Amino acid sequence: RGTVQKVVVLPSNSSASGELILEELQVFQQQLYVSSNEGVSQVSLHRCHIYGTACADCCLARDPYCAWDGHSCSRFYPTGK
């Protein structure tokens, strides 16, 4: 289960530096739908192949949709809440 966050990064010289979460949305079946003037695109949230073929790279990515399966960085299927 994932969320998409709309975040504002505040300048470091402001009185309240850091990040401010403006909105948090639930993701529909691990897919993100992005729209623009050109149309709508569907993007999978599990793109584990981008982390390479090393266990350390996969684990250090801390991607909630990916896990090391002993051979490669693969899609993670949560089994419960």
Single pTM value for the model: 0.53
Percentage of the chain lying above the pLDDT 90 cut: 25
* Range of the structural domain that residue 14 is part of: 1-45
Helix, strand, coil % in the chain, rounded to nearest 5: 15, 45, 40
71 and 32 together in one domain: no
- pLDDT of 55 reads 96
- pLDDT of 70 reads 94
- pLDDT of 37 reads 83
30 and 58 together in one domain: no
39 and 72 together in one domain: no
64 and 76 together in one domain: yes
- pLDDT of 38 reads 85
Residues 76, 40: Cα–Cα separation, whole Å = 26
Given a cut of 50, the residues of the chain with pLDDT beneath it are: none
Residue 47, C-beta contacts closer than 8 angstroms, at least 6 positions apart: 65
**Domain containing residue 60: CATH number:** 3.30.1680.10
Name the token pair of 66: 């990916």
26 and 63 together in one domain: no
